[in-house]
Amino acid sequence: MSFSPLIDRLIDALRVLPGVGPRSAQRAAFHLLERDRDGARRLAEALVLAMDKVGHCNQCRTLSEAALCALCNSDRRDRSVLCVVENPTDVIAVDRGGAYNGLFFVLMGHLSPLDGIGPKELGLDGLDARLAESEVKELILATNPTVEGEATAHYIAEMARRHGVRVSRIAQGVPFGGELEFIDAGTLSQAIADRRAY
C-alpha cells in the first residue's frame, strides 16, 4: 500500500542508504515522524551541509571539506613517506594501526579497464606531480591484494621509480592471532613464498 505522497517520498529517499530496503526504510520513516523529529531535522541539516561542503583534499584526494585535510595539514606527520591506498576508509584502517606516521594518497578506486577506470580517473597525474617535487623519499603501496590492486601498484611503482623514489609494497600473509588451518590456500602459499629470515 502507499502512504501520503510526502511519507512515500521519505521512505523512497531513505532507501539510498546501504543495507536499507523497503521494510527498514518504512520503519525508519515512521520512527522519525512519530518519535524523533528533532533528530530527523539534525540529520537533514547534516546531510545537506556535508553534501554541499565535503569535497576532496587537494593533496591526498581523501574526502574533506577543507582544501587540505587534517592529516595533510598536520605538522606531526613524516612528510618523506607517502602511503597509497584505494579508499578513504583505508586511510583510517592504516592510521588506526599506529605503525605509520607518514602521509597518504587516496586513489578513490583502482585501475580497472573493464569499468573504464584508467590513470586519469585515479588522479595519478597529481601523484606524478607530487613525486616530482621530491619531498617524498619512500612510497608505500597499500592497494588491495587483488589483481586490479596489483596492477595499480605496478603502474604507480613504475611512475615513482622514474622520479627516483624508493618503492615498497605492504606485506601479505597470516593475520595475527589467526590459525593456519583456517587460512585460505592462496594466502598461505604467499606467506610461505615471502617468508623471511628469523
Partner 1 sequence: MSAQRVDSQPAYVIHARPYRETSLLIEALTLDHGRVGLVARGAARPKSALRALLQPFVPLHLSWQGNGELKTLRSAEPAGMVRRPDGRAALSGLYLNELLQRLLPRDDGHPELFSAYVDAMQGLIFPESVEVCLRRFEMRLLDALGYGLVLDHEPLNGEAIVPEAAYDYDPHGGPRRTSAGLGLNLRGASLANMAANRFDDETTRADAKRLLRQVLRTHLGERPLKSRELFQGLAARKQV
Residue numbers of the site for partner 1 (CB under 8 A)?
18-19, 111-119, 124, 145-148, 150-151, 153-155, 157-158, 162, 184-187, 189-190
| 64: phi then psi, degrees, rounded to nearest 5 | -165, 145
**Nearer to partner 1 by C-beta: 5 or 116?**
116
CA distance 86 to 149: 8
Minimum CB–partner distance for residue 49 and partner 1 (Å):
27
Minimum CB–partner distance for residue 172 and partner 1 (Å):
9
**Nearer to partner 1 by C-beta: 80 or 109?**
109
**Nearer to partner 1 by C-beta: 119 or 126?**
119
Largest CA distance in the chain: 69
Minimum CB–partner distance for residue 111 and partner 1 (Å):
6
Strands 55-56 and 63-64: antiparallel
**Nearer to partner 1 by C-beta: 69 or 94?**
94
* Grid coordinates of 122: 585515479
* Grid coordinates of 18: 546501504
CA distance 3 to 154: 54
